[in-house]
Copies of this chain bind each other. A is one copy, B any other.
Amino acid sequence: MHPSDQPDTAKLTVDQRLVSFFRDGAKIVGLPASVGEIFGLLFASPKPLTMADLVERLNISKGSASQGLKMLRTLGAVRDVEYDNDRKGYFEADIELKKLVGGFIREQVRPHMESGTRKLGELEQDLDTVSDPELRAFYENRIKIIQRWSGKAKLVLPLLQKFLGE
């Protein structure tokens, strides 16, 4: 073994640790590991990186890099930058918590909430099909409970965004 080669248990470099940190973070919030790694490497890099850099340094396929970057751009977590006046695309991590959380809420939370609201509406329609009045009253109450939750959730999101926006 060459002296600079490190065994598995060796200390990781800071950028490797950041990649690992964001890989875990991505999994926690339900995003693919590769997406976390890409963000991590960009976050750990003083200079913008190309897709080829990501493929090489993270050992991921071109396909993963492309799809991961697409998702990160949609989330507003990564942006395209001009660099080296090169025709290749360069990318940079966005470090504003407000933007990261905002993108996550917009892309991952709101769509689910909307579909939930729609489903809840359908549910109310079906109440008419319940003939037993006691059961019907029970269901009405249950639906009211969900609506109360839903109302809170809708209030909480802007509150959260406000709090996180410095």
Contact = CB atoms under 8 A, between A and B. Distances in A.
Interface residues of A, number: 44
A47 to B, nearest CB: 10
A12 to B, nearest CB: 7
B142 A17 contact: no
Contacts of A59: none
A130 interface: yes
Given A14-B126, A156-B160, A156-B163, A21 B120 contact: yes
A116 interface: yes
A119 interface: yes
A152 B101 CA distance: 12
Contacts of A81: none
Nearest to A135: B46
B123 A21 contact: yes
A115 B124 CA distance: 42
A30 to B, nearest CB: 5
A130 B97 contact: no
Interface of A: 11-14, 17-18, 20-21, 24-25, 28, 30, 43-44, 46, 95, 97, 112, 115-116, 119-120, 122-123, 126-127, 129-130, 134-135, 138-139, 142, 145-146, 148-149, 152, 155-156, 159-160, 163-164
Given A11-B126, A14-B123, 17 more contacts: A11-B129, A14-B129, A14-B139, A17-B119, A17-B126, A18-B123, A18-B142, A20-B119, A21-B119, A24-B115, A24-B119, A28-B112, A46-B138, A95-B145, A152-B164, A156-B163, A159-B163
